Amino acid sequence: MTKYIFVTGGVVSSLGKGIVAASLGKLLRARGFSVAIQKFDPYINVDPGTMSPFQHGEVFVTDDGAETDLDLGHYERFTNTSLHQLNNVTSGSVYQTVISKERKGEYLGATVQVIPHITNEIKARIQMATKHFSPDFLIAEIGGTIGDIESQPFIEAIRQFRLEEGIGNSISIHVTLLPYLQTSGELKTKPSQHSVYVLRSYGIQPEMLVCRTAVPISQKEKEKIALFCSVSRECVFESKDMKSIYEVPLALEAQNMAGVALKLLNVKDKKPNLLSWEKLVDKIKNPKSEITVALAGKYTDLNDAYISVVESLKHAGLEFDYKVNIKWLASEKCTDEQKAEEMLKDVDALVVPGGFGVRGIEGKLNVIKYAREHNLPFLGLCLGLQCAVIEYARNVAGLENANSTEFDEHTKYPVIDLMTEQKNVAGYGGTMRLGAYPCHLKEGSKVQKAYGKKIIEERHRHRYEVNNEFKKIIEDAGLVISGSSPDGLLAEVVEYPKNDWHVACQFHPEFKSRPEEAHPLFRGLIKAVKNRKK
Ligand code: GLN
């Protein structure tokens, strides 16, 4: 029978609730339990696919093509599992279902209301995930901060669900902030007390508290929090700021967080196997040397926009005992080749990540050209592949001003164009080529060697592709199409064989990299850095 763990957040947002949920998932998995994690997002968008990365950060794509919250990326990386559409529930998707049922007359004349119709649909989503995954534990994280109007239906649904599932089968964990007042040298507990009061006023008394803090919490302070928030002393946990998010599971394990949760849920504890995670954290803390990778993107003011890319670089770095520093390049500032050279001369590699729209494209072309001409290890992701192809078409294949029709509808040489099946698509939500597709790699190519196999499966999120009309010209000019869809119609990977690592892919490998197992394409990039350093 599945046991439920609900995670809410208080006082402020961005507390790392997602990391706490993922860490607990990791600790339970390390004990041999199966875990499913669900994220509830209270916004009205049906999914984050239509939101600007400036607002929301990265959109994480699952194998089954769901565009989801970036916390799902943490869940996948921490628990080493692949998630699913069911793992992300938004208010928008809940309302969409309820309203479409209403239009079909399924409510038989009833007045459709937040309680019970919206809350029932939320509970149904929890049940659907339970049925689909049959996990030992389902961890559900509610986005936003307690007190927000938008999240109230989710909190109410949880209150009902907990009653219906019976005492002992679920717990509530509240993650809060203990602000530190520099002048008085004190940690303040009042905001957390208030947050718990509000949660309680919604009918939920949390069993466990995780307190985010910049300094250690003394026993006395823990006792005070326990007393005022009505939780037992052993249920107050410290979540101190860490250098690496991957340290969090171990810090929580040291306080026996999973053990306490299991006790509250009446499940016998087991000995965790965290050996390889401990090794990982040890590597993170003791790198042998450092390298710098330039990331030429558009949303460089918000690092969360490229979170999976950055994590993938770190994972690959660890395999070679490198700490990877990121140099953020606002690509629109790389206005000419000289600027590109200035910006790249002190870096060890270049990554051009995914993106949309024309802004910064010329700058991306400049840095890719520099990388190609100077054998600087390069990896292009999705838009990065499209730019690599445009750069090659213009500067090597002689197709002057070649472009993507996304950036110049009337270009003479549309080397990147809308996919045929995209041509009649109306609307933006969930309409791209999304999710995992197989790809065949060319025997003997750099990527085929990097993967060590010929057929791979990677996740996609794009509308445009390499235009088949120009494939031959570009290939004749020396760029190799080293990965294609099984029918051969879609170019999925390109590489420039003269360089050590000048590789770009139409898919997003960053969604499948794991801390304990770097992705082959990122590993290939960092390996090229290492060889170059020799
Ligand atoms: N804008 C490009 C497309 O839609 C690339 C998308 C991406 O990088 N995810 O094809």
pLDDT in tens, the chain (534 residues): 999 999 999 988 888 899 999 999 999 999 999 999 999 999 999 999 988 888 888 999 999 999 999 999 999 999 999 999 999 999 999 999 999 999 999 999 999 999 999 999 999 999 999 999 999 999 999 999 999 999 999 999 999 999 998 778 999 999 999 999 999 988 999 999 999 999 999 999 999 999 999 999 999 999 999 999 999 999 999 999 999 999 999 999 999 999 999 999 999 999 999 999 999 999 999 999 999 999 998 877 777 899 999 999 999 999 999 999 999 998 888 888 899 999 999 999 999 999 999 999 999 999 999 999 999 999 999 999 999 999 999 999 999 999 999 999 999 999 999 988 888 888 788 889 999 999 999 999 999 999 999 999 999 999 999 999 999 999 999 999 999 999 999 999 999 999 999 999 999 999 999 999 999 999 999 999 999 988
Nearest CA, atom 5, ligand 1: 383
List, in sequence order, the alpha helices (H) in 166-292.
190-201, 219-229, 248-254, 257-264, 275-285
Nearest CA, atom 1, ligand 1: 356
Q: What is the pTM of this model?
A: 0.94
Q: Is 382 in the pocket of ligand 1 (CB under 6 A)?
A: yes
Max Cα–Cα distance, the chain, nearest Å: 75
**What's the confidence (pLDDT) of residue 449?**
97
Q: Is 418 in the pocket of ligand 1 (CB under 6 A)?
A: no
**What's the confidence (pLDDT) of residue 465?**
96
Nearest CA, atom 7, ligand 1: 354
From CA 321, how far away is CA 454, in angstroms rounded?
Answer: 28
Alpha carbons within 13 angstroms on the beta-carbon side of residue 164 total 12
In the reported structure, the alpha carbon of residue 22 is separated from the centroid of ligand 1 by a whole-number distance in angstroms of 29
Q: Is 354 in the pocket of ligand 1 (CB under 6 A)?
A: yes
In the reported structure, the alpha carbon of residue 464 is separated from the centroid of ligand 1 by a whole-number distance in angstroms of 6
Burial letters 353-378, b for 16+ CB under 10 A, else e = bbbbeeebbbbbbbbbbbbbeeebbb
C-alpha pair distances (Å), 226 with each of 173, 186, 201, 412: 13, 17, 18, 69
Burial letters 456-468, b for 16+ CB under 10 A, else e = bebbbbbbbbbbe
In the reported structure, the alpha carbon of residue 353 is separated from the centroid of ligand 1 by a whole-number distance in angstroms of 10
Q: Is 389 in the pocket of ligand 1 (CB under 6 A)?
A: no
From CA 299, how far away is CA 302, in angstroms rounded?
Answer: 6
In the reported structure, the alpha carbon of residue 460 is separated from the centroid of ligand 1 by a whole-number distance in angstroms of 9
Nearest CA, atom 6, ligand 1: 462
**What's the confidence (pLDDT) of residue 91?**
97
Q: H/E element holding 156?
A: helix 152-165
Tokens of 318: 């660890």
In the reported structure, the alpha carbon of residue 465 is separated from the centroid of ligand 1 by a whole-number distance in angstroms of 9
Instruction: Choose one of 431, 463, 490, 511 to mutate for the ligand 1 pocket test, by most ligand atoms within 8 angstroms of C-beta.
Output: 463
Q: Is 464 in the pocket of ligand 1 (CB under 6 A)?
A: yes
From CA 347, how far away is CA 212, in angstroms rounded?
Answer: 35
Catalytic residues: 382, 508, 510
Report the DSSP beta bridge partners of residue 172. Answer: 6
Nearest CA, atom 3, ligand 1: 462
Instruction: Choose one of 405, 461, 505, 508 to mutate for the ligand 1 pocket test, by most ligand atoms within 8 angstroms of C-beta.
Output: 461
Q: Is 463 in the pocket of ligand 1 (CB under 6 A)?
A: yes
Q: Is 505 in the pocket of ligand 1 (CB under 6 A)?
A: no
Single-letter amino acid code for the residue at 366 = N
C-alpha pair distances (Å), 120 with each of 6, 84, 85, 157, 235: 17, 21, 19, 7, 30
Nearest CA, atom 8, ligand 1: 354
Rg (CA), the chain: 25
Contact 402, 387 (CB under 8 A): no
